[in-house]
Amino acid sequence: MTKIAVAKGDGIGPEIMDAVLHIFNTAKVPLEYEFVDMGKWVFDKGFSNGMTAEAQEAIERLGILFKGPMETPKGKGVKSINVTARKTWNTYANKRTFQTLHGVDTVFSKAGIPIDLTIVRENIEDTYGGVEHMLTHDVALSRRFITRPGSLQLIKYAFEMAKKKGTKRITCGHKANIMKLTDGLFLEVFYEVAKEYPELKADDVIVDDLCMKLVTRPDLFDVVVLTNLQGDIVSDLCAGLVGGLGFAPSANIGDHISIFEAVHGTAPDIAGKNIANPTSLFLSGIGMLRHLGLMESASMLENALLYTLENGIHTGDFGDKNIPAVNTTVFADAIIANFGKQPAHHPRPLIKDQKPTPTLFKLSQNEMMVSAERTDETICGVDMFIASNEQPQEIATKCLRHAGVKFKLVSISNRGTQVWPTGSVYTNLVNQFNVRFESLDGFPLNQQDIIGLYVSLSGNFKICSLELLNMWGDKKAYSLAQGQ
């Protein structure tokens, strides 16, 4: 008997969780539940991270969290409980499967185009670090973190999962044509890992092109791996291909703790009415059973669901309108009544239970993920982000006074577009500029040199932030401005 942590969630969460656990219990799935306190009502009691200390201890002790949808209070300066949970426990891989479900009509099901997609989204990094600052009253900055170790964790998982699934193709979605360093690093790691899996066809596609192809020929794709924000958007797009978020299971996989959840909203307008659709949470629970090695139970329950859908039984949010909708309880009971039955379309084979790979162990300190530097690092300059309402030439004139004997002013840009030494009067400006200084004659710099320039420049400008310009070997580790 395996014990897991269960958080029922907010809004419709408790009723759909009760329905799913009722199905599990009737099927005698060998699970025990420890209920934990998480969600909006916990925020409202003064817990700023949306969970009690007891809940965190239980989840870290058990290693599995099964959770309903949760709401984060708006306008209170608190972080999303869903994002906090994923990041706190380093569940670096968000796996979401999207399949044609007979009985759930979509444009593609009516056209006879089958969909069987898996989106693997990086779950920790990117803009979801939530590190933001107002540089001026007009300019907000969000930092985007893409790391080699974090990308490696996620992409290695995606290839292993694709291999076990028996897929032939794995695709990297990216925007490396624009974000050459961040998405470029992610794409570089993708192809490094691909060399270890010659049996899989590995390719890549720019994310906007990917979106167009997904809504025209989704059957061309199998496994797609993406960075966090792009993966968030694309996974919701794919949910729309198969009927909506109510049919989109979600698993957040980590080395020590994993979270299985419904990713749709809490639907407070229908909460307590017993009319919500529990399918997404149920499918997430089935994924959890497979993760725990409970293959027989997972296959039997999924076949019962598929049979139920094929026979037109539906809640009010989908299905044949000529067939009366049923409530949450009746829908769950219909699945129970169909235990042991096989759907006509794509029945899941009954596989013997497997021993899950042991992953949970007590950690005594935070794990540090650092890859070896491949070449020597040198500092060759600095970007000074300054606040100013002046014209580029006026800014340049002042900056040139501070360059001294170690620096040369090479460019000034505004919102990523160069405005000095060349530029266009038709480029609209905001009151925050990036002033780039590089080493005079290419001599290496140190941090004391940068601090000296900072102190000098601060006599004329408010310096909002700065970034070192690094080189690894002969490779620039920074981007050029548009037009530079």
What stretches of 242-357 show up as alpha helix (H) in DSSP?
279-291, 295-310, 328-337
Pair (239, 277) in one structural domain: no
Kindly state the tokens that stand for 365.
């300190």
Q: Which residue, of 361, 390, 416, is where some domain finishes?
A: 361
pLDDT value at 374 more than 80: no
For the domain that residue 224 is a member of, what is the CATH number?
Answer: 3.40.718.10
Task: Please check whether residues 435 and 457 belong to one and the same domain.
Answer: yes
The per-residue pLDDT for 225 is 98
pLDDT at 75: 60
CATH number of the domain encompassing residue 458 = 3.30.70.1570
Q: Are both 224 and 268 inside the same structural domain?
A: no
Q: How many distinct structural domains can be found in the chain?
A: 3
Residues 103 and 246 in one domain: yes
Q: What's the pLDDT score for residue 47? A: 83
**Over residues 83-89, mean pLDDT:** 90
Segment among 141-150, 311-320, 368-377 with least mean pLDDT: 368-377
Let me know whether 262 and 353 are in one domain.
yes
The torsion of the CA quartet 10, 11, 17, 22, rounded to 10 degrees, works out to: 140
Which residues, 6 or more positions from 437, have their beta carbon under 8 angstroms from its beta carbon? 381, 382, 384, 399, 403, 407, 408, 409, 410, 453
> Of the candidates 333, 361, 389, which is a domain's last residue?
361
Nearest to 304 by CA among 350, 352, 261: 350
Tell whether 429 is covered by a domain.
yes
The pLDDT score that the predictor gives to residue 360 is 59
Question: Residue 421 is part of which domain span?
Answer: 377-476
Q: How far apart are the two ends of the chain, measured CA to CA in Å?
A: 63
pTM of the predicted model, to two decimals? 0.92
- 320/102 Cα distance (integer angstroms): 11
Residues near 482 by beta carbon (within 8 Å), at least 6 away in sequence: 413, 416, 417, 418
Task: Give a yes or no: residue 209 inside a domain.
Answer: yes
What's the average model confidence in pLDDT over 143-166? 96
Together in a domain, 135 and 227: yes
- Mean pLDDT, residues 169-182: 97
Question: Which of 233-247, 345-359, 454-468 has the lowest average pLDDT?
Answer: 345-359
User: Do 4 and 103 fall into the same domain?
Assistant: no
Does 74 score more than 90 pLDDT?
no
Asked whether residue 367 is assigned to any structural domain, the reply reads: no
pLDDT-derived band of residue 72, with 50, 70 and 90 as boundaries?
confident
Instruction: Quick: pLDDT tens for 211-245.
Output: 999 999 999 999 999 999 999 999 999 999 999 99
Contact 375, 63 (CB under 8 A): no
Residue 80's pLDDT is what?
Answer: 82
Give yes or no: residues 426 and 327 share one domain: no
At 442 the pLDDT is: 80
Q: Are residues 287 and 432 in the same domain?
A: no
Is the model more confident about 373 or about 421? 421
366 belongs to a structural domain: no
Residues 284 and 400 placed together within one structural domain of the fold: no
Pair 384, 471 in one domain: yes
* pLDDT of 357 over the 80 cut: no
pLDDT > 70? residue 174: yes
What is the average pLDDT across 99-105? 94
Mean pLDDT, rounded, of the chain: 94
**Residue 202 within any structural domain of the chain:** yes
How does pLDDT run across 398-408, given as a tens digit for each residue? Answer: 999 999 899 99
Of 253, 280, 308, the one marking the end of a domain is 253
483 lies in some domain: no
Same domain, residue pair 453 and 414:
yes
Check pLDDT > 90 for residue 45: no
**DSSP characters for 387-409?**
E--S-HHHHHHHHHHH-TTTEEE
